[in-house]
Amino acid sequence: MSALNLFRKEFGAEPAGLWAAPGRVNLIGEHTDYNEGFVLPFALPQRTIAAVGPAPAGEWTVCSTFEGEGISFGATEPGEVTGWAAYVAGIVWALRDAGFDVPGARIALDSEVPVGSGLSSSAALESSVLTALIDLGGLELPLERRPALAQRAENVYVGAPTGILDQSASIRCRAGRALFLDCRSYEIKQIPFDLAAEGLAILVINSNAPHQHVDGEYGARRKSCEEAARILGVPALRDVPLAGLADALDRLDDEVMRRRVRHIVTEDQRVLDTVALLEGGRVREIGPLLTASHASMRDDFEITVPQIDVAVEAALEAGAYGARMTGGGFGGCVLALIDADRAPAVTEAVENAYGNRGFTAPTCWIAVASEGAARL
Ligand code: GLA
């Protein structure tokens, strides 16, 4: 059922409007966001749709096509609403906490973003609700300040220590562009990313591998990076230049921490190199950077799983220019840069590799850089 029909059914009325916010894939720049470095995501065509209408002040009711039970809440504090609705209550809380007079609302949600696949279904949910409440209440919150507010909802209300990548992508991406974001200054640059014009495509391969220990491992990576920055005497690992990497590694005793630092410092440089190539129209040449990013996540940051590595290898063997895991890790999706007409062959190669290993079959599709959060 669509969000619109769910709204009509649950609330017996027409909504004031429909708002949509997309999931994302990150082209390159993984785990660099909370190290105040660089990322380069683009928005997916798959979105979360929110049908929203007014309710009495201080009352919010939310229902969705993905969870049976709707839920109502008033002004809450972090942790009081749990489960998927916490993302909605978190947005209301973060807006109120920032001093906004948030309008009461009835919200019906539907999502096309696959949950648990590392494509930021939670950021899509947050961003659709945030955009709707801002519009509905006529709140003055410029676009560039919105991702940090949604991130705060996730960090403080939901309790997940994520960076600002996903919310920035869902809110600030534009169709046909990749979003180059400086995660310290929040400055952005929209980078031309029209692959079809080049006869190219990004094939997304959902590994369908079960996510395991994601939260704990993510937090551990973040802690290790922050600890390394402290030892090195810099505000964040973003401040270690590639030219200073060898020196920095010499000053760290812990072998695991050294690997984590090497990933972040080299990954930031790969983002910058990727942006330079895309701006120069040399799209195919980003392939080796994507593949190097994957090797770094596999060997240094240690966030891949066998299903993910097999997908990358199979895609490369089938002729991809480059391939890498995208997102937080421990499952999720791989992206491969391919000639558009090779999509069936690469898909088949990955499916065969999965079949040979007895893995659950992957799901593959072409991702086109799409529009960020908006009123429909
Ligand atoms: C998850 C987090 C992001 C980012 C990525 C890794 O998606 O939500 O903030 O850290 O992992 O790049």
The full DSSP string for 186-245 is: --EEEEE---GGGTEEEEEEE--PPP-SHHHHHHHHHHHHHHHHHHHT-SSGGGS-GGGH
* Percentage of residues of the chain with pLDDT beyond 90: 95
pLDDT 10s digits, 225-250: 999 999 999 999 999 999 999 999 99
For a ligand 1 pocket test, name from 25, 26, 31, 121 the mutation site with the most ligand atoms within 8 angstroms of its C-beta: 31
Ligand 1 centre distance from Cα of residue 31 (Å): 6
What are the strands of the beta sheet with 17-26, ordered from one edge? 71-73, 60-64, 105-111, 41-54, 17-26, 374-375
Which domains are present in the chain? 3-193 (3.30.230.10), 195-367 (3.30.70.890)
Query: Mean per-residue pLDDT for 273-301?
Result: 98
Name every protein residue with a CB atom under 6 angstroms from any ligand 1 atom: 26, 30-31, 33-34, 162-163, 165-166, 327-328
| Residue 79, CA atoms < 13 Å, CB-side half-sphere | 2
pLDDT 10s digits, 157-197: 999 999 999 999 999 999 999 999 999 999 999 999 999 99
Q: What is the structure's pLDDT at 172?
A: 98
Q: What is the structure's pLDDT at 220?
A: 96
> Is the predicted pLDDT of residue 291 greater than 80, yes or no?
yes
> Is the predicted pLDDT of residue 68 greater than 80, yes or no?
no
Q: How many Å apart are CA 196 and CA 120, to the nearest integer?
A: 24
Closest CA to 325 of 211, 218, 207: 207
The one catalytic residue in 33, 166, 268, 300 is 166
Asked about 166 being catalytic, the answer comes back as: yes
Ligand 1 centre distance from Cα of residue 329 (Å): 8
For a ligand 1 pocket test, name from 121, 165, 296 the mutation site with the most ligand atoms within 8 angstroms of its C-beta: 165
Beta strands at 71-73 and 60-64: parallel, antiparallel or unpaired: antiparallel
Ligand 1 centre distance from Cα of residue 369 (Å): 19
> Is the predicted pLDDT of residue 213 greater than 80, yes or no?
no
- The pair phi, psi for residue 212, each rounded to 5°, is -130, 140
